[in-house]
């Protein structure tokens, strides 16, 4: 793949920029509020540590030595992360044994104002962690008998219907496990916060295509998650926000949690929201907020560290907090139980919650990412532990990726050993069935944006009879075989390979539980696309070099030669036009900002690439028709005729691949 990229660097640039669009939808997901009990909270006290503002929510004293050492440890970890990665601010809360062990804010929520992060009041946007509220609401209504998780979702949708496919309906349980079979859609992130359309209207107009049979594959879906919120509205008879406030936030004392976008917040709430930042010229610059309008149930909530501590305690207690029970313990236990058993010892989803095994411990939670914030929330029932962290920038994901595991290690007394790299070519043959290229299923399949998924591929390479590497996104991760089709990294992340009924390896499930990737054949491999386009460029360039070499010579050209030559020039011009179009798109996307996507998407340069793709198709067809004069009466030498034939076949095959990747023959969205 790297060699193909070198042949096609300008396409790599634009696809990297646009692929980030689909990943930022998360979920990176991808890859997201309650106040503390009076007995645990008091006035915030401010401690200054080497110039970094640290705001600590007061909690009752506890002689537990682990608690005392954990606070010092977390201070060291967070301040190190903050300085090493130039972070503006972080907010953290830790709960254990149904108590608030720690709630702290680090850094400045607003640098210009000098406003420190207050863990009790400073709001951070939690992205897709918002979905855990939706799934909890669904389970509450299911417990009341108002929602049948295994019924056709269309039974709860009077406004519109989920389109028929695979002769099977989609159920709530399936979308709670991200197994509804929907393709991804970027249109969700192109909805402005002041868009007047209702959630039902947006869901109908943006309904994605169903590309997998329900239940067959895990593929994270923001659209389906928002659909669940609409079902809550329809069943409860309340606006989802009203249901959320009256049935969850108010009973749990989550005073400061909100779903209002920054532009619609009142002045007091807006003053408590952390400012988003991005790295620019070695400093921090203002980062605009992501907009998703009525899709906010999928990722638009904001909360505080202490509010999220209450949310974690509620779930760790099996649906109860401070004597307020909103869900039966049995119902909650079923919520944290997987509905599918195709990878019981690896990461998956349990009714909306990410469910992974970390060094033998079962961990539930969710991550969330927006244009300006990254958030992680995990709960470990075996340790009665909950960890929440959020940062107000996305230029590094290090806290998001590592902080929770570090806390779990500290509390559980884990010291995972490093892996020694193994090299055994003969032994590696034992893992050869896993080798190949895998393409993520969380992508667009049916529109122009399908092209962006070409950079979502991962390469699996066996190293020995016991280990392999996964290369994706420019990084290489080492995994050792744990058991059968399950492999684990030194950091404790488990991946598993999925098999068809025939026993053949056909997919890969990631360590987060919410994504799978399909094993590719040669035709669907992005390398094939890049290689063919690279060959087309090379043939266009060699045609130009040949023309330059002949320029000035008095060479007789027959009528047939002129026809074939004109066709060849059309091929050259179509390839150059496609190159220029992609360069324009790359330039336009170089300063891409997710917060302005409602005004940018779809960008006009996408249409330009689309039409230039059609030009390649037309040129290939004309060159095919010109083969008769080229071979019968042009007087060309064998090498030139072979070059013409190879150029023609390359453009025709490129046309097929452009169709496959939806550059042509599909809506430009």
**Coil vs helix vs strand at 99:** strand
Handedness of CA 342, 345, 348, 350 (dihedral sign): positive
Query: What is the greatest pairwise CA distance in the chain?
Result: 98
- Least confident range from 43-52, 97-106, 138-147: namely 43-52
Q: Tell me the per-residue pLDDT of 523-542, one tens digit each, with 9 for 90 and over.
A: 999 999 999 999 999 999 99
User: Which helix (DSSP H) or strand (DSSP E) does residue 453 occupy?
Assistant: none
- Sequence-ordered list of residues with C-beta below 8 angstroms from that of 418, at least 6 positions apart, any chain: 490
**pLDDT at 615 exceeding the cut of 50:** yes
Neighbours of 171 (CB within 10 A): 21
For the segment 559-580, the average pLDDT, to the nearest whole number, is 95
Please, are residues 252 and 311 in contact by the beta-carbon 8 Å criterion? Answer: yes
**Nearest Cα to Cα of residue 438 among 452, 454, 459, 455:** 459
In tens, the pLDDT along 342-360 reads: 999 999 999 999 999 999 9
Residue 62 confidence (pLDDT) above 80: no
pLDDT for 554 equals 54
Burial of 167 (0-12, 13-18, 19+ CB in 10 A): exposed
- Mode of pairing for the β-strands spanning 115-116 and 324-325: unpaired
Q: Which fold has domain 132-249?
A: Beta-lactamase (3.40.710)
Contact 314, 320 (CB under 8 A): yes
Whether residue 38 has pLDDT greater than 70? no
Q: What are phi and psi of 129, to 5 degrees?
A: -60, -20
d(CA 273, CA 254): 16
DSSP string, 389-420: EEESB-S--HHHHHHHHHHHHHHHT--PPPPP
CA dist 252 and 313 (Å) reads: 10
Q: Which residues face 95 on adjacent strands?
A: 100, 386
Q: How confident is the model at residue 45 (pLDDT cuts 50, 70, 90)?
A: very low
**Radius of gyration of the chain from Cα atoms?**
27
Split at pLDDT 50, 70, 90, the class of 68 is confident
CA dihedral 482, 485, 489, 490 (to 10 degrees): 10
As beta bridge partners, residue 278 has 285
Mean pLDDT computed over every residue of the chain: 90
The Cα-based distances of 599 to 192, 195, 365, 604, 607 in angstroms read 8, 12, 33, 11, 15
Please state, for a pLDDT cut of 90, what percent of the chain lies above it. 82
Write out the H or E segment, with its range, that includes residue 270: helix 267-272
Of the two residues 422 and 56, the one the predictor is more confident about is 422
Q: What is the mean pLDDT of residues 105-133?
A: 97
pLDDT of residue 229: 98
For the domain covering 27-130+271-317+353-412, report its CATH number.
3.40.710.10
Question: What pLDDT sits at residue 60?
Answer: 58
| pLDDT band (50, 70, 90) for residue 435 | very high
Domains of the chain, residue spans: 27-130+271-317+353-412, 132-249, 425-519, 525-660
Question: What letter would DSSP give residue 170?
Answer: -
Residue in the block written with tokens 């799934």: 135
- Determine the pLDDT at residue 576: 97
How many beta carbons lie within 10 A of that of residue 556, not counting itself?
6
Read off the pLDDT band of 22 (50, 70, 90): very low
pLDDT tens sequence across 472-506 = 988 999 999 999 999 999 999 999 999 999 999 99
Which residue's entry shows tokens 């469910």?
A: 355
For residues 316 and 477, the answer to whether their CB atoms sit within 8 Å is no
Beta bridge partners of 52: 49
pLDDT at 573 over 50: yes
Q: Measured between alpha carbons, how far is 652 from 7 in angstroms, rounded to an integer?
A: 19
Structure token pair of residue 391: 């940062």
Beta bridge partners of 286: 277
Residue 52: per-residue pLDDT: 58
Token reading at 278: 């991005």
């Amino acid at each position: 793949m790297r060699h193909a990229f070198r042949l096609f660097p300008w396409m790599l640039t634009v696809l990297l920029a646009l692929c980030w669009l689909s990943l930022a939808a998360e979920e990176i997901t991808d890859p997201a509020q309650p106040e503390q009990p009076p007995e645990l909270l008091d006035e915030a006290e401010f401690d200054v540590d080497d110039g970094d503002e640290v705001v600590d929510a007061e909690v009752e004293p506890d002689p537990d030595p682990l608690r005392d050492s954990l606070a010092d440890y977390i201070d060291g970890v967070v301040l190190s992360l903050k300085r090493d990665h130039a972070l503006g601010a972080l907010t953290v809360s830790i709960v254990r044994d149904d108590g608030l062990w720690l709630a702290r804010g680090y850094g400045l929520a607003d640098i210009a104002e000098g406003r420190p992060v207050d863990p009790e009041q400073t709001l951070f946007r939690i992205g897709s962690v918002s979905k855990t509220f939706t799934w909890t609401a669904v389970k509450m209504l299911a417990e009341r008998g108002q929602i049948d998780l295994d019924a056709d979702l269309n039974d709860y949708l009077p406004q519109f219907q989920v389109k028929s496919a695979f002769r099977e309906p989609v159920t709530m349980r399936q979308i709670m496990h991200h197994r509804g079979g929907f393709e991804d859609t970027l249109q969700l992130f192109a909805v402005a916060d002041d868009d007047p359309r209702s959630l039902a209207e947006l869901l109908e107009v943006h309904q994605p295509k169903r590309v997998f049979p329900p239940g067959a594959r895990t593929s994270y879906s923001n659209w389906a998650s928002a659909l669940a919120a609409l079902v809550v509205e329809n069943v409860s008879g309340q606006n989802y926000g009203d249901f959320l406030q009256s049935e969850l936030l108010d009973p749990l004392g989550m005073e400061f949690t909100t779903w209002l976008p920054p532009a619609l917040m009142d002045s007091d709430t807006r003053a408590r929201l952390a400012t988003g930042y991005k790295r620019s010229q070695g400093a921090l610059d203002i980062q605009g907020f992501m907009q998703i309008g009525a899709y906010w149930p999928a990722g638009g909530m904001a909360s505080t560290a202490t509010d999220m501590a209450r949310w974690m305690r509620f779930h760790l207690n099996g649906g109860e907090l401070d004597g307020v029970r909103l869900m039966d313990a049995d119902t909650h236990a079923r919520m944290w139980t997987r509905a599918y058993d195709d990878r019981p010892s690896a990461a998956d989803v349990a009714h909306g919650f990410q469910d992974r095994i970390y060094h033998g411990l079962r961990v539930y939670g969710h991550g969330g990412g927006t244009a300006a914030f990254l958030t992680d929330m995990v709960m470990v029932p075996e340790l009665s532990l909950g960890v929440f962290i959020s940062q107000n920038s996305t230029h590094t994901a290090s806290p998001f990726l590592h902080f929770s595991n570090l806390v779990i290690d500290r509390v559980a007394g884990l010291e995972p050993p490093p892996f020694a790299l193994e090299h055994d070519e003969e032994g590696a043959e034992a893992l050869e069935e896993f080798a190949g290229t895998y393409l993520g299923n969380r992508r667009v399949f049916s529109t122009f944006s399908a092209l962006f998924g070409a950079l979502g591929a991962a390469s699996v390479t066996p190293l020995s009879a016991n280990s392999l590497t996964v290369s994706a996104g420019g990084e290489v991760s080492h995994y050792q075989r744990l058991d059968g089709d399950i492999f684990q990294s030194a950091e404790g992340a488990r991946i598993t390979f999925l098999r068809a009924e025939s026993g053949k390896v056909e997919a890969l499930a990631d360590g987060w539980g919410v994504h799978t990737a399909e094993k590719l054949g040669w035709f669907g491999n992005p390398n094939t696309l890049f290689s063919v386009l690279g060959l087309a460029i090379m043939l266009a360039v060699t045609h130009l070099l040949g023309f330059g070499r002949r320029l000035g010579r008095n060479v007789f050209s027959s009528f047939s030669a002129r026809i074939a030559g004109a066709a060849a020039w059309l091929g050259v011009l179509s390839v150059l036009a496609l190159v220029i179009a992609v360069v324009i798109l790359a330039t336009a996307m170089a300063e891409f900002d997710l917060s302005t996507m409602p005004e940018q998407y779809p960008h006009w340069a996408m249409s330009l690439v689309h039409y230039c793709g059609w030009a390649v198709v037309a040129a290939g067809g004309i060159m095919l028709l010109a083969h008769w004069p080229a071979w019968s009466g042009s007087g060309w030498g064998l090498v030139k005729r072979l070059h013409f034939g190879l150029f023609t076949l390359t453009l025709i095959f490129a046309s097929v691949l452009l169709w496959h990747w939806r550059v042509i023959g599909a809506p430009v969205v």
